[in-house]
């Protein structure tokens, strides 16, 4: 199967940022995006999702810090 035909998880940006400022690259513990995503996610073909600015793909990642 072509990877652009696979279904992926997406969240509508209006629901994701309904009560929060929409910006990138911020860190905060005030907003519980996990709950918002879990309550509002849906699936869409990857090719469509990557071109539709009305949806975001939740991408898990982490930043590790050391005391050094």
User: Above 60 in pLDDT, residue 3?
Assistant: yes
Encoded tokens for 10: 């997406």
Within 1-68, strands assigned E span 7-12, 41-45, 55-56
- DSSP for residue 5: G
Quote the pTM value. 0.74
Note the Cα 41 to chain centre separation in Å: 9
Q: Which helix (H) or strand (E) holds 46?
A: helix 46-49
Q: What is the pLDDT of residues 6-63, one digit of tens each?
A: 999 999 999 988 877 666 655 666 778 889 999 999 999 999 999 999 999 998 777 7
pLDDT of residue 61: 74
pLDDT of residue 26: 57
């Amino acid at each position: 199967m072509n990877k652009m035909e696979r279904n992926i998880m997406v969240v509508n940006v209006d629901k994701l940022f309904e009560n929060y400022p929409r910006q990138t690259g911020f860190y905060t513990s005030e907003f519980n995006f996990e709950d918002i995503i879990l309550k509002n996610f849906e699936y869409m073909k990857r090719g469509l999702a990557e071109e539709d600015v009305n949806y975001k793909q939740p991408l898990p990642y982490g930043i590790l810090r050391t005391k050094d």
